[in-house]
Amino acid sequence: MPVLDASVVVDCIAPGIDSSSPAMRTMRRLAAERAEIVAPRLLLTECANALLTGVKRGKWSGAAADLAYGFLAKLPLRLADDAQHLDRAWELSRRYDNHPIYGMVYVAVAEAAHTTLITADATLRTRLTHLSWISGPDA
């Protein structure tokens, strides 16, 4: 029951993704294991925003983003309430060089669930390298 953050999920749903990317390998492995994927509700907003940003920057068309958004809506996720974890995320952000609280919400959710956080955010992984339950996507 790992927690996935938006950096991994966007790399799975974005138009033109590389099917051999670490994020896709991770998602295929989790699907094969029938693992329950946990994420804060924030994940949906972050992923949707990334898709819109891609349209604005000309990375993909609006139609391609619409299709990717449909994939996002169908992901089998167990969503955690962000508000329950915000205080802990704040503590973590302040402790670790004021890291953006968005990333720390995922850390707080994983910590509370006593599970692994999978993130493609190298800065977050470096800051929290002492936490063995935070890892990158499958290599």
Measured N-to-C along each axis, helices 62-74 and 6-13 cross at an angle, to the nearest 10 degrees, of 120
**SS3 of 98, please?**
coil
Task: Quote the CA–CA distance of 106 and 50 in Å, as a whole number.
Answer: 17
User: Confidence class of residue 50 from pLDDT cuts 50, 70 and 90?
Assistant: very high
Read off the pLDDT band of 124 (50, 70, 90): very high
Q: Give the residue from 30, 92, 128 showing the smallest Cα distance to 9.
A: 30
Burial class (CB in 10 A: 0-12, 13-18, 19+), 32: exposed
CATH 3.40.50.1010 fits 3-135, yes or no: yes
Prediction pTM value? 0.93
Average pLDDT (36-60) is 97
Determine the distance from the C-alpha atom of residue 84 to the mean position of all C-alpha atoms in its chain, rounded to a whole number.
18
